[in-house]
Amino acid sequence: MSFAWLGIVPFMIFAVMFLIAPAAILVVGAFQDQTGAFTLENIVNLFQPSIMSAYWISIQVSTASALIGALIGFFLAYAAVSGGLPQSVRATLMTFSGVASNFAGVPLAFAFLATLGRTGLVTTLLVKYAGFNIYSTGFNLLSFWGLVITYLYFQIPLMILIITPALDGIKKDWAEAASTLGASRLEYWRYVAFPILWPSLMGTMLLLFANAFGAIATAYALTGSSLNIAPILLYAQIRGDVLHNPHLGYALAFGMIVITGLSNGLYIWLRGRSERWLR
């Protein structure tokens, strides 16, 4: 046996301790009652209207943030890769994206409250210099769209990081060949570039969906319990004083694992299809 295997031992230990073992505990706990006996009651209880509503709102928030984040992130990445901008702009954008894609939780929620809250900096400046109060239009940071906007802070940079290698893989020869054959720029993107990038775009959107669906710290710190989404309901079931039911919480987590697992599985499959063209 090669000693090279020793190099991945720390990674395997880390994966077992913080990924495989916790997931296994959640799956087993979802099919147990308070005494530890096998039961399907927790899975059946997932179909309660309040829980199904929480899942549906989470899916809506994740879908909206994934679609908007993918759209904005794609055009930013395209401008940096193929827009003729200086190399320093791309380096700055990628560095910022690497930092911002991991900025979440309580600090991110506080940053948005300090910026777009009712007494936030941007809100105050708009009222003072433009005479416009964004809250008079019905906007509320502690709402569905407020949470979506907050999620975009890490969704857009994540899209940039993931789609940039795919854009780099688009060969200039393809555009030149299409132009030689009489294709316009629009026709090149419609018939050549976009079909090749489509699996990467769809896969990245699925990854963004899974990324938003499992986020809890930012949502809980920003909205508390005012927005009924699955991660917050899960937290209430496991740690809450009123809704304390750990095994129902395990079932909620099991449902989230299934949804995010499907998203990540489709992402891996689509990425494989795209890499065959972009090698």
pLDDT digit string, tens, across residues 203-229: 899 999 999 998 888 888 888 777 888
DSSP, collapsed to helix, strand or coil, labels residue 110 as: helix
Q: What is the pLDDT of residue 55?
A: 93
Within-domain flag for 62: yes
Within-domain flag for 89: yes
> For the chain, first and last CA: distance in Å?
32
Q: What is the pLDDT of residue 173?
A: 86
Within-domain flag for 68: yes
Within-domain flag for 16: no
Q: What is the pLDDT of residue 243?
A: 62
Within-domain flag for 78: yes
Within-domain flag for 211: yes
Query: Residue for token digits 């050549």?
Result: 192
Within-domain flag for 32: no
> Residues 6 or more apart from 39 whose CB is under 8 A from it?
31, 32, 33
Q: What is the pLDDT of residue 157?
A: 96
Residues 279 and 275: their CA atoms lie apart, in Å, by 6
Q: What is the pLDDT of residue 278?
A: 60
Q: What is the pLDDT of residue 209?
A: 94
Closest listed residue to residue 255, CA positions, set 112, 42, 1 = 42
Model confidence pTM above 0.85: yes
Helix segments in the chain, DSSP class H: 9-15, 21-30, 41-45, 49-82, 87-100, 106-116, 121-125, 144-168, 172-180, 185-188, 194-213, 217-223, 230-239, 246-278
pLDDT digit string, tens, across residues 120-159: 999 999 999 999 999 988 888 888 999 999 999 999 999 9
Q: What is the pLDDT of residue 242?
A: 57
Q: What is the pLDDT of residue 152?
A: 95
- The CA angle 251-254-255, to the nearest 5 degrees, is 90
Q: By residue range, what is the domain housing residue 216?
A: 40-278
Within-domain flag for 13: no
In the beta sheet, which residues pair with residue 38? 32
At 65, which CATH number?
Answer: 1.10.3720.10
Cβ atoms of 122 and 116 within 8 Å: the answer is yes
Backbone angles phi, psi at 85, to 5 degrees: -80, 155
User: In the chain, how many domains are there?
Assistant: 1
The stretches in the chain having pLDDT less than 50 are none
Q: What is the pLDDT of residue 63?
A: 95
